[in-house]
Chain A
């Protein structure tokens, strides 16, 4: 079956296209013989929230993990195509992957704080990247916790073990931790799937606030969430990019039948 290219109407107009923060160009990925991502091309605009949505197993997380080359950790992976961040292909041979991961932060599906204190969790990143003296790092810890809307809840117990926090708090801690290394892009892999509705709402509000300073890509299987938080939206199915564009348009006037079916809840 021929893959559908995103309709020409989507792609950012030429002038704006140069400022696409991330440009994914004909990306293909295989796990072993399994063709997981099929010819995906997508532009991700800066300072906006782009949601990647689709039914389970369609490759959304895999796509996300390409953006900071976390798929390098999986054996037997083959990738063709390019991903340009700020105009440079991250798959080029001499890319500094460490620096890439500093610039492109990630929050995982299940909160995964380190088995250390709240303070140490956040200080870890800046320390290994040598981002300043202990005073500077202390200020940084406070700033990121404030940005992640967690400061008031933990400011009196920074030395407590991170696991003493609730699920929602742990996830905001992980978000603060990803902010601590001063990224430009933040990737969120179904960040609220392990959280209760109240925590989810808080997290979503945070995401919308953060887009002012960061480029955000969020993967979700929950289309209402995509509708709530995102400015742009891409719909992936079985490894193919079916449709993408401004969220309002995709949700009210989808151009592909499959998108329509997905939004109507017919599957996924």
Chain B
């Protein structure tokens, strides 16, 4: 049996010592990772630059008046208050629909779904829905809500369209948060003779709440910034008054930014207002994201049931 070559054992007393590490070897080993870090650093630098640029150019425009007044003079002056209200309203409507449906679906997937074809179909559908472009949701919203259900161009139509769009996001986070609760919680309740729903309601959902909340806040933030779904289902360039009902048209921040930048006839004159709008929108989105992350981090650190 011939074996791979080994250094012959030298005379006892003078063994071959381990070589010292050459400088070059260490450097070559780490050089690869340094090269990898460059694209990441460039990307992060760009992100920071964008944020700073928008802040610097948008901040001078911000004022209490800007946030609480309506636009005047063909939008060349005044504030963006109706847009803020519109965005809040339509996001709220979407969540009124998607939060309960999303949580219920999440409960089903984590607590009741068996490992069968139907479950796989449901899961696959939800994941597919998450990947559908927002403009396609817009088309669907026009066909179903505006036209077939005769809701016309309204907050309701836009809200429901947005609700369909953020439903998959809420279902995923709800399912994840509920599945993360250890089974011993459920078993403890069931062993005392509760029904399944009672066990979930009292012993699982309250603990899954922070996780679900995180998901909802992230969905909220993303929904506020979406334009395509509301483009043809209810948002409008200008309304004289605030929306009076769910069936009114409305103004919204993302569309306002788009319109001021590309549709207005005095694009350069309203540029500062556009910056202000961009900053307000970005600030709102980042604020909700930040709260969501803070909750997530506290959750990760303080899982009382993890020994």
Q: Which of A56-64, A96-104, A217-225, A250-258 contacts B (4 or more CB under 8 A)?
A: A96-104
Known: A18-B13, A146-B1, A147-B1. A94 touches B20 (CB 8 A): yes
Q: Interface stretch among A80-88, A160-168, A188-196, A236-244? A: A80-88
**In whole angstroms, what is the CA distance A182 to B6 when docked?**
6
Name B5's closest neighbour in chain A (CB-CB): A182
Residues of chain B with a CB closer than 8 A to A146's CB = 1-2
> Smallest distance from the beta carbon of A260 to chain B beta carbons, Å?
34
**A184, B7: Cβ atoms under 8 Å?**
yes
B12 at the interface (CB under 8 A from A): yes
Please give, as numbers and ranges, the residues of chain A lying within 8 Å of B301 by CB-CB distance: none
Residue of B nearest to A16 (CB): B12
Q: Are B3 and A98 in contact (CB under 8 A)?
A: no
Residues of B within 8 A of A182 (CB): 4-7
Q: Is B19 an interface residue (CB 8 A)?
A: yes
Q: Chain A residues near B19 (CB, 8 Å)?
A: 96, 99
Does B304 have its Cβ within 8 Å of any Cβ on chain A? Answer: no
Cβ of A47: which chain B residues have Cβ within 8 Å of it?
9
**Considering only CB atoms, which chain B residue lies closest to A212 in the complex?**
B3
Residue of A nearest to B2 (CB): A143
Asked if A144 is an interface residue, CB under 8 A from chain B, the answer is yes
- Indicate if A247 sits at the interface (CB-CB under 8 A): no
Q: Which residues of chain B are near A87, meaning CB under 8 Å?
A: 15, 17
> Judging by beta carbons under 8 Å apart, are A99 and B1 in contact?
no
Q: For the complex, is B18 an interface residue (Cβ under 8 Å from A)?
A: yes
8 Å CB contact of A213 from B6, B22, B29 = B6
State A86–B5 Cα separation when bound (angstroms): 18
Is the CB of A207 closer than 8 A to any CB of chain B?
no
The majority secondary structure among interface residues of chain B is: loop
Q: B3 to A213, Cβ gap below 8 A?
A: yes
Count of CB-CB pairs between chains A and B under 8 Å: 64
In the complex, which residues of chain B have a beta carbon less than 8 angstroms from the beta carbon of A100?
Answer: 18
A214 to B9, CA, bound (A): 10
A139→B262 CA distance, assembly (Å): 69
Q: Are B4 and A86 closer than 8 Å at their CB atoms? A: no
Q: How far is the CB of B1 from chain A (nearest CB, A)?
A: 6
Q: Count residues of chain A with CB under 8 A from any CB of chain B.
A: 32
- Does the CB pair B4–A95 fall under 8 Å? no
Question: Assuming A98-B25, A184-B7, is B18 touching A85 (CB within 8 A)?
Answer: yes
- B-chain residues with CB within 8 Å of residue A97 when the two chains form the complex: 21
Judge if A90 is at the interface, Cβ distance under 8 Å.
yes
| Alpha-carbon distance between A147 and B209 when the two chains are bound, in angstroms | 59
Q: Which residues of chain A are near B9, meaning CB under 8 Å?
A: 46-47
B241 at the interface (CB under 8 A from A): no
- Residue on A nearest B7 in the bound complex, by CB: A184
In the assembled complex, the Cα of A209 lies from the Cα of B2 at a distance in Å of: 12
Beta-carbon contact of B12 and A96 below 8 Å: no
Within 8 A of B (CB), among A171-197: 179-180, 182-184
Closest residue on chain B to residue A21 by CB atoms = B15
Residues of B within 8 A of A179 (CB): 3-4
- How far, in whole Å, are A182 and B5 apart by their CA atoms in the complex? 6
Q: What are the interface flags for B1-41 relative to A under an 8 Å C-beta threshold, 1 for contact and 0 otherwise?
A: 11111110100110111111110010001000000000000
Indicate if A19 sits at the interface (CB-CB under 8 A): yes
**What mask results when residues 99 to 111 of chain A are scored 1 for a CB within 8 Å of chain B, else 0?**
1100100000000
9 closest A-B pairs by CB? A86-B15, A96-B21, A19-B12, A88-B17, A94-B20, A18-B13, A147-B3, A143-B4, A88-B18
Binding site for A on B (CB under 8 A): 1-7, 9, 12-13, 15-22, 25, 29
Which A residues lie at the B interface, using CB under 8 A?
A: 15-16, 18-19, 46-47, 85-88, 90, 94-100, 103, 140, 143-144, 146-147, 179-180, 182-184, 209, 213-214
**Given A15-B12, A95-B20, 10 further pairs, Cβ under 8 A:** A86-B15, A94-B20, A94-B21, A96-B20, A143-B2, A143-B3, A146-B2, A147-B1, A147-B3, A183-B6
